[in-house]
Amino acid sequence: MSKKVVLITGTNSGFGWLTANTLADLGHTVYATMRDTQSKNADKAKALSTVPNITVLDVTLTSEESVQHAIDSIIKKEGRIDVLVNNAGFGASGVAESFTTTDVEEMFGIHVVANWRLMKAVLPSMRKQAEGLIINISSGAGRFAFPFMTVYSAAKFGLEGLSEGLHYEVKKLGVDVTLLQPGAFPTDILHKLKTGSDAAVTAEYGPLAAIPEQMGKGIAQLFETVKPDPQEIADAVVDLINLPKGQRPLRTVVDPATGHIVRAANEGVKIEYEKTLAAFGMGELLN
């Protein structure tokens, strides 16, 4: 296995933390980004910095300047970036109508715009070297819009759309774009769920507004029964890196509980989607 230069966002906890450590243990050169390395995330940044093969970068993903500076500094030092793992994000649940325009802009700003900012920043060098891999961490909720996760699902839909089109556009240039679709896992994201800012609207929904809490209890019971391990996501990233260029699937489902639903949707759409591309004269993009 050749060693890669890997950039991972959102490494202060959860999937990002596990993926950074896993890839570093395998000998890859890892650049782990997070915000507030001198304040809120100082302990996390210090801990990761002590791991061999990991360099922690303080990056604000909503800042064009911050992102570009990070990309330029890595390429200047390493000569390349082989893999980008777009992992940073946050969850949200609650009555959709209670989410203000600002709430929605924040959600799309991280899950869609910031991820695109990273992709656009690494693509020139990846195209130049005719080699590269972009892994976008989506969700099973990026395939279906679950009630009371509407805004979160919408943002993940956006990431799925960017990834799907780009997957076919740059494949022949030597760059693979893939999606990981996790199900529910016991990570910090579940303890930091955003809710809509307009609490008055939530109150008007009466008993319906209690459904998100009921969903949370159901997920807790699921964890006790299925015991999903977040390390599976880090392992899936390793598997994608190890696959030969051009043979990486567009979507990979990692969900021991309800993944069969998402896989069925992926497989059914893929068949008809590829027929449509061929019918529109784009069959060459499939190979």
**Both tokens assigned to 144:** 């279906």
Q: Which of 31, 152, 168, 205 is catalytic?
A: 152
Q: 267: burial class by Cβ within 10 Å (0-12, 13-18, 19+)?
A: exposed
**Both tokens assigned to 280:** 């529109």
Report the alpha-carbon angle 19-131-266, nearest 5.
60
Across 178-199, b (16+ Cβ under 10 Å) vs e yields bbbbbbbbbbebbeeebebebe
Between helix 14-25 and helix 231-242 the angle, nearest 10°, is 50
Q: Residues 174, 130: contact at Cβ < 8 Å?
A: yes
Is 152 annotated in the active site? Answer: yes
Give how far Cα 255 sits from Cα of 84, 140, 228, 260, 261, Å: 22, 8, 8, 8, 10
Neighbours of 3 (CB within 10 A): 12
Of 73, 13, 7, 5, the C-alpha closest to 48 is 13
Instruction: Give the Cα separation of 185 and 255 in Å (integer).
Output: 8
Instruction: Give the Cα separation of 124 and 122 in Å (integer).
Output: 6
The residues carrying an active-site annotation are 152
